[in-house]
Each structure stands twice: as C-alpha cells, then as structure tokens.
Structure 1
Amino acid sequence: MTTFITRRLAIGLVMLLALSVLVFILLRLAPGDPIDAYVNPTSPLSPEAMQALRERLGLDAPLPVQYFGWLRTAITGDLGYSIQRVGVPVLPLVMERIGPTLLLMAAGLIIAIVVGVAGGIISAVRRNSPTDIGFSVVAFIGISSPAFLTALLGLYFFSVQLRWAPSGGMLTPGMGFSMSDLLAHLILPACLLSIGHAALIMRYMRASLLEVLNQDYVRTARAKGVREFFVIVKHAVRNALLPVITLIGSTIGIAVGGAIFIESVFNWPGMGLLLVNAVETRDYPVIMGATLVIGACVIVVNLLTDITYAAVDPRIQVA
C-alpha cells in the first residue's frame, strides 16, 4: 500500500506540473493584458509608466523565464501576489476560499450519492415497472441538464418565485454565524450541484445491480431461503457498488466545473467565484494558484477513491 501511494503521488506531481504548464500557456494565449487591472480608465498611464509597471510585475520577461520564476517560488509554497488585489498573497487568498467550496461540493456529493444509490437500487429491483421508467426519465433529464441552466432555473423558481431559499451568499449579511442560517443558504446550491451526479450514479447503480442480481451466488442465496431484502442489501449491493465508487471518484473534476457555475450564480464565496473574478480581471497569479490547488485536491480524491475501492473489494490488489 505504501508503494502504491508513493507511486500515485509521484504521478500526481507530474500531472500538476503538466497542468501548470498548460494553464500558463493558455493564459498567455488569451486576449487581454493583466496590466489593464491596474489602469484607471479615467486616467490612463503614460507608455513609460505602463512599461515600468510591466517590469515591476515581471511581465516583460520571456515566457519561459516567467514560468520557471513562478515555478521556483511555487515549490516553496509562495504562489505570488494577486494583481487585482495589490499586495495580497495568492496562497492565503486561495486557502480562504477553499473551505466554502469543499463544503458545497461535499454537501452536493453526499446528496448525489444517497439519492443516486437509493434510486438505482429501487429502479433495478423494480425493473421495467412504472417506477423504473419514471426514475429513468428523471435521470436522463438530470444528465442532459447543464450546471449553469439548473443553477439559473433553481435560483429563479426556488429563490425568486417561491422564496423557499436565500438567493445568494453563504450567510445572511449583518447576522452572526448560525448553523441554521448556513444550512438555509447551502441546501439549494448543494441540491442543484447534485442533480447531474445523482442522475449519473443512479444509472450506473441500476445497471451494475441488474448485472449482479443475475449472478450464481445471488440465485444460490435465494435458493437457500434468504429473505429478498438481505439478498439485495448483503449480497448484491456491495458488489454493485464497485463501479459506482470509481464513478464517484472520476466525477470530482466534473463537480469542480459545476461548482464554478453554482458559485457564480449564487455568489457563493468559494474557489469558483474567485476563479471567475480572476479570469475577468486577468489576474494570472490567482488563476495559476487556484488551478494548482484544485488540481491537487482532485488528485488526492482520486487516490482516496482507489484506496476505498480496494477496501470494499479485498480481491483487488493496489500494489
């Protein structure tokens, strides 16, 4: 297990390096100039002042020099300083926002897992029944609905029209922290984030459980007189969960993309909203730092998924 974890972490470091190179190149290919964030449109700077500012920020150096300069400091944990927020270090800014994003993603994934697994089990047990058909229709709608559309529709119906949930933010302005207030702001964006993942987990769980229910050991358990409830729960569900666990781990990256839309629509103070604001202002250090932290989180989650997969099925060797 130690060898496996070490090897996976080494691969993860190579992936992070490749990700940083890719993001750096894409940022430089994108139109616009980060210097614009410093310039007041009503009082533009002279060309000499613009050049001096560019030199101070290191944007006048060749691209390889800029990248390796950033990489050299990033290895030490220094991700530079924000261009938009003058003098603010990137790492504390990112770490301040990662908590709300993890909270939102964790709540959304928990809802997705519970709803998806339960719906998949019910759909498989009642195969080809009206319940199964209804669940399948709902799942297909959920899979085909993009995150930005569900976020906007959810905001309009549940916050604007029905007023069942707050329309944005993480806490009510002017009020002290309370768990009930946090949950009131969390429940709607978390449910909207979970829709696509719950639908996908439901379809995978249904297909996997149907395959397991046709295995010989399940028929043997039934022939021995084991109650159908225990046949499903004890013998079938555990083995049917194996591909679902892999699916859950692989959807973490997709959940990050969905969280960006959800946080933008609901003004949730997380990594997604930070990235959107950084892209709008061409804040290169914040974009690089946030992307690096998100990539590291995804790699760690995938590693934990592989370990969980091996724990659920002892036949799997991770060495």
Structure 2
Amino acid sequence: MRTLRYALRRLLVGALMLLALSMVVFVLLRLTPGDPVDAYVNPSSPLSPQDLLNLRASLGLDRPLPVQYLIWLREALQGDLGYASSGNGDPVLPLVLSRVGPTLLLMAVGLSIAVLAGMSAGVLGAVRRNGAADLSLSVLALAGISAPSFLLALIGLYVFAVRLGWAPSGGMETPGEPFSLPDLLRHLILPACLLSIGHGALVMRYTRGAMLEVLDADYVRTARAKGVREVAVIGLHALRNALLPVVTLIGSTIGLAVGGAVFIESVFNWPGMGLLLVTAVRARDYPVIMGATLVVGACVLLANILTDLIYVVIDPRIEVA
C-alpha cells in the first residue's frame, strides 16, 4: 500500500513537472525571433495586411500570452495538440505518436547494449583492478564519455556505412522492399551501437566504482573465507549490492539518451522523435515542437518514476517514505 501511495505521489509530481515544462517551452517558443504566422503563409503567395490580421486572430495569436497558453493547455488536456503548420497540416498528436515507436526501439536497443556491455566491462575492471584489462577499459570509457554524440554518428556513418559498407547509411528499412525483421536489424544495429557508446562508458565507470567498494566489504571477505566460489561471490553477493547506484544512473541517462537520439536520428534519417523535432525546428512548426516536447517529457518522467520503483525490488531494505 505504501508503494502504491508513493507511486501516485510521484505521478502527481511528474504531472506538475510536465506542466512546468510545457510553460517553459511555450514561452521560449514565443520569445524566439520571427512571427509564428509566417509558418502558415506560402512565400510565393503573400497575404495582405488585413488577411494576416485575420489569420492571426483565427490562430489566437492576437491574445495575451497567458491566455494563449491556457487555450493550448485546455485543448491539450482533451487530446488536441493542434495541426502541423508545415507539410500536409496533419494533426499533431497522431503525427507525434507515430514517431514514438521508432525512437523507443532505438533507445531500448541502444540502452540494452550499453547496460550489458557497461556492466560486464565494469565488473571485469573491478575484478582485475589496475591490470591491463582495467586500464584499457578505463581509457576506452573516458574516450566514450568525452566523444559527442554527433561526432560519433558522423564517424560511424562514414566508416561502417560509406567506407566498409557493413550497414545501411540511413532509414529504418530498405526502400522498395517489403518489411522484414532482418532488414530492420541491419538498419538498427549501427545507430543503436553508436547511441550506446557514451551511456555504456558511464555504466562501466559506475559499475566499476560500486564493485570496488563492495568487493572490499566484510561480508564479501567472509563469503570467500567460507569457500564460496568466486563466481558466486561476484554474481550473488557483490554485483547485486552494487546494482543500486547503477540503476540510478540508468534512470537518469534516459533523458540524456533522448538528446543523443536527436543527433543519431538526424544523421541516419531514422524516422523517430529526434528527426521530427529537428524538422519541426527548421520549419518553425510550433505545434509540432510543443507536442513532441510534451510527449518526450512525459516518457522521460515516466522512466524516472519506474526507476524509483525498481529500487525497492532490487533492495528490499529500502523503505518507501
């Protein structure tokens, strides 16, 4: 029951944070240079001053900024995020939701690779502390943390797609061919691996640090003194108790993964939320920017809430306040 109350309280806090996020983004978009009406006007067919005034009034842009936000919020709570001002003028909500799946797929595979590779490397580095493997992995982790996502994407595209031809250069499927799982995996593996590099390096560093602290604990030395096999000592005793800070990191890096996905999707033309946001910013499509930001913020907040709840599963000693 306490866990349920905690989850409901975290959902309430998340909803308030999402409301604050929408306010900030709405105000920042209105403060950007230019006129939002320009996105609705065809440059080859300019409107008269009176037509511009009528268009502004029909869009509600002639009202005070707080009133504009409240109108948008009222419609958003009813599931209406407006219509895109660019392209075919499609409804924003179906347009955004159609891009959520590809982004979640890319992030899920990328973060899974990062967690598996990072935790394995972290455990190996802690067990072989100050050895050749530990030093090599530490250097690679430092390089992975330092390299920007857009640079990794460009280098990976050039080396593995252009020069070596090991992977497609972009898209989610081969044009003109029916959908198939092997074809999807061919397009997915390279951007997912590139997305995982920075996060895997962070997971490796945190896992190594947590494991080093746990391996020096008294209960680990006691288990070894009792003759428990080293694999069991590391897997059952040390790793489980070192997971909590790693889970904290994984939950906090989901937001960073969204930022990395923007660059990865733009470089590889992956049809997800990142590519949609970049396209909307270029076209000054304010309704799409607002809708996409709202959906991304909701996904990140939900992921953080789930991370908090996983703490209790990993370590039953934690009491929900």
Conservation of the 8 A alpha-carbon contact between 1:34 and 1:281: no
Match for 1:191: what amino acid? C
Deviations 1:152-190 (A, max 9, x none): 111111111111100110011111100000000000000
Shift in Å at residue 217 of structure 1?
0.2
Asked if the contact 1:101/1:272 (under 8 Å) is kept, the reply is yes
**Structure 2 counterpart of 1:46:** 48
Task: Supply the distance in 2 between the matched residues of 1:39 and 1:82 (Cα, whole angstroms).
Answer: 13
Matched, 1:125 2:127: yes
Q: Give the Cα separation in 2 of the matches to 1:32 and 1:270.
A: 27
Aligned counterparts of 2:142 and 2:184: Cα–Cα separation in 1: 31
1:231 aligns to what? 233
Question: CA offsets, 1:98-120, max 9 Å, x none?
Answer: 00000000010000000000000
Could you say which residue in structure 1 is the equivalent of 2:242? 240
> Cα offset for 1:87?
4.0
Equivalent-residue separation in structure 2 for 1:53 and 1:145 (angstroms): 46
1:160 pairs, out of 162, 167, 184, with 162
The alignment of Structure 1 onto Structure 2 pairs a total of residues equal to 319
- Gapped regions of structure 1 (runs ≥ 5): none
Q: Which residue of 1 aligns with 2:86?
A: 84
Show CA shifts across 1:246-301 (max 9, x none): 10000110000000111111110000111111111111111111111111111111
Match of 1:2 in 2: 4
The partner residue of 1:147 within 139, 146, 149 is: 149
Q: 1:254 to 1:236 in 2, by over 3 A?
A: same
Q: Which of 199, 202, 205 lines up with 1:200 in the alignment?
A: 202
Q: Which amino acid aligns with 1:63?
A: L
- Give 2:265's aligned residue: 263
Corresponding residue to 1:58 among 39, 57, 60: 60
Task: Name the aligned partner's letter for residue 12 of structure 2.
Answer: A
Q: What is the CA–CA distance in structure 2 between the aligned matches of 1:76 and 1:122, rounded to whole Å?
A: 51
Distance 1:28 1:306 in 2: 35
Partner of 1:301: 303
Task: Look up the equivalent residue of 2:196 and give its one-letter code.
Answer: S
Which one-letter code corresponds to 2:17 in the other structure? M
Q: State the 1:46 CA deviation.
A: 2.1
Letter in 2 for 1:49: D
Stretch deviating more after TM superposition (118-127 or 226-235)? 226-235
Which stretch shows the higher mean deviation, 51-60 or 230-239?
A: 51-60
1:27 pairs with 2:29:
yes
Out of 103, 106, 111, the position equivalent to 2:113 is 111
Contact kept? 1:32, 1:282, Cα under 8 Å: no
TM-score normalized with structure 2 length: 0.97
Distance 1:57 1:105 in 2: 36
Residue pair 1:33, 1:282 contacting (<8 A) in 2 also: no
Which SS does the other structure have where 1:82 is aligned?
coil
Indicate the larger mover: 189-198 or 282-291: 282-291
Structure 1: distance between partners of 2:164 and 2:119 = 29
Instruction: Name the aligned partner's letter for residue 245 of structure 1.
Output: V
- Provide the rounded CA distance (Å) in 1 between the counterparts of 2:152 and 2:32: 28
For residue 54 of structure 1, report the CA deviation from its aligned partner. Answer: 1.8
What is the root-mean-square deviation in Å for CA atoms of aligned residues?
A: 1.0
Q: Structure 2: which amino acid aligns with 1:239? A: N
Q: Percent identity?
A: 68
Letter in 2 for 1:193: L
The 2-side partners of 1:6 and 1:263 are apart by 34
Amino acid at match of 2:276: L
1:310 is matched with which residue?
312
CA contact (8 A) 1:79 1:289 kept: yes
Counterpart of 1:52 in 2: which secondary structure?
helix
Per-residue deviation, residues 20-79 of structure 1 (Å, max 9, x unmatched): 000011101111223222333333222222222222222222111110000011111111
Q: Which runs of 5+ in 2 are unaligned?
A: none
- Distance in 1, matches of 2:297 and 2:7, equals 17
Decide which moves more: 106-115 or 34-43.
Answer: 34-43
| Structure 1 consecutive aligned stretches of length 4 or more whose deviation exceeds 3 Å | none
Q: CA deviation at 1:205?
A: 0.2
Q: Which amino acid aligns with 2:264?
A: I
Provide the residue aligned with 2:70 in structure 1: 68
